[in-house]
Amino acid sequence: MSDPIRLEPGDQAPDFTLEDADGKPVTLGEVLTRTDQSVVLYFYPAAMTPGCTTQACDFRDNIREFDSAGFTVIGVSPDTTDKLAKFRDKEGLTFTLVGDPDKETLRAYGAFGEKKNYGRLVQGVIRSTVIVGADGKVVKAFYNVKATGHVDRIKKELGV
């Protein structure tokens, strides 16, 4: 197993088109153009699991601050649109969730690959967050993050 790529500040963010919880296509380039905001892309392993729920609810509880500071939040996981819709509705999530069942976008962002899980090396989603500027370039990239406290760390790093 090889190490996944790691995006660095200044890299061009890979564009993607993925379906949201309602089955509608979401394209990074269109979001950047339409909103003229930076994008917080956070990659998580699975909807409705304890850590992912904690992280999603942290984003939900801070979404107004991100929006006011010029950031659009998008959560990316390998989940199906049906599961994303259930997750969104159950937790009252007010930001976009997109599914990447083929894991192509996860791989392009370095958020899928070899990781340790309970002491074993496995292939899976690497909990990560990539901040993409309105110009489509990576501003910051965080890999192997913890679900708890990560939103506060991002806010601090971005001055939100």
The phi and psi torsions of 37 (rounded to 5 degrees) equal: -115, 165
What residues contact residue 4 under an 8 Å CB cut-off, 6+ apart? 107, 110, 111, 112, 113, 114, 126
- Three-state SS at 104: helix
Nearest-angstrom CA–CA distance, 67 and 136: 18
| DSSP string for residues in 108-139 | HTT-EEEEEETTEEEEEE--EEEEE-TTSBEE
- Positions marked catalytic: 52
Of 122, 141, 121, 111, whose CA–CA distance to 44 is shortest? 111
The phi and psi torsions of 151 (rounded to 5 degrees) equal: -60, -45
Nearest-angstrom CA–CA distance, 37 and 34: 8
* Residues β-bridged to residue 114: 123
